[in-house]
Amino acid sequence: THFGFKQVPVDSKEHLVGNVFSSVASNYDIMNDVMSLGVHRLWKDHFIKKLDVGARPGGEPLEFLDVAGGTGDIAFGLLDNALSKYSDNKSKIIVADINQDMLNEGKKRFLNTKFAYESNSRIEFLQQNGQVLDKIPDNSKDVYTIAFGIRNFTDIQAGLNAAYRVLKPGGIFACLEFSKVNNPILDSIYSNYSFTFLPLMGQLIANDRESYQYLVESIKKFPSQDKFASMIREAGFYVPGVGYENLSFGIAAIHIGVKL
């Protein structure tokens, strides 16, 4: 395609992922809307409200980390929730993403948020591979979020282990990701939709069929809700209950883990 997709060696998933997101950074909202029929906005709102993080009045400010945070949706939402519900105007967030184009898009969008007017910026955009997080110290974060990012990792378990490492004891891991539809009939409708309609939409909207094809395949390959919950346990987290909440019949799911 015109994004040089084909020049990437096929075995180099990280480069491929880099290219996919460079090519979509500016078309990003459209892509998400197409992928989820617009529902990703509701899922993200629900994710943020469910977590409901924020320093309680008089409490210590919190340290948030949003990995694969791309364009900042989750980060701005977390800061907003903390401010409006707890008058928390002190907690800080790092948005970490492997792709500088996505981070640049996030920085641009940040300028349109109310947080851009604060004298001490509480948000930092940091290029980092979520599987490594080498610039994030051990036991330093209160909340780790990742939305629609972890399925792109070459080594998901390494990503979970890194999440565990950087969280403080008592810290919370929360992941929003496409998952497995739990009803066979709906699943077959959704599979047809995603394998035929989505690449076509990608071609029409972004002139980029391959990137959308890749995204569909990455969703298909991602582990089931139960398997992913067991990987979160494997990383060392305490996983309450079944460990997840299905959204829209499992098209997406929220997984939670606590570092004890």
Question: Footprint of ligand SAM on this chain (CB under 6 A)?
Answer: 17, 21, 67-71, 73-74, 97-99, 102, 129-131, 147-149, 152-153
- Closest separation between CB of residue 87 and ligand SAM, Å? 26
Report the distance separating Cα 78 and Cα 31, nearest Å: 22
- Closest separation between CB of residue 220 and ligand SAM, Å? 15
How do the residues of the chain divide into helix, strand and coil, expressed in percent and rounded to 5? 50, 20, 30
Report the distance separating Cα 215 and Cα 27, nearest Å: 14
DSSP 94-138: EEEES-HHHHHHHHHHHTTSGGGG-SS--EEEEE--TTT-TTS-T
Strand order in the sheet with 167-178: 123-127, 92-97, 63-67, 141-147, 167-178, 252-258, 244-247
- Give 47 or 190: the residue with its C-beta nearer to ligand SAM: 47
- 112: annotated binding-site residue? no
- Closest separation between CB of residue 184 and ligand SAM, Å? 27
- Give 25 or 82: the residue with its C-beta nearer to ligand SAM: 25
CB 130 within 8 A of CB 49: no
- Closest separation between CB of residue 127 and ligand SAM, Å? 9
- Give 178 or 237: the residue with its C-beta nearer to ligand SAM: 178
- Closest separation between CB of residue 99 and ligand SAM, Å? 3
- 130: annotated binding-site residue? yes
DSSP 186-221: HHHHHHHIIIIIHHHHHHHHHS-HHHHHHHHHHHHH
- Give 131 or 225: the residue with its C-beta nearer to ligand SAM: 131
- Give 129 or 225: the residue with its C-beta nearer to ligand SAM: 129
Packing angle of the helix pair 40-51, 28-36 (nearest 10 deg): 90
Feature table: binding site: 71, 97, 129-130
Feature table: binding site for S-adenosyl-L-methionine: 71, 97, 129-130
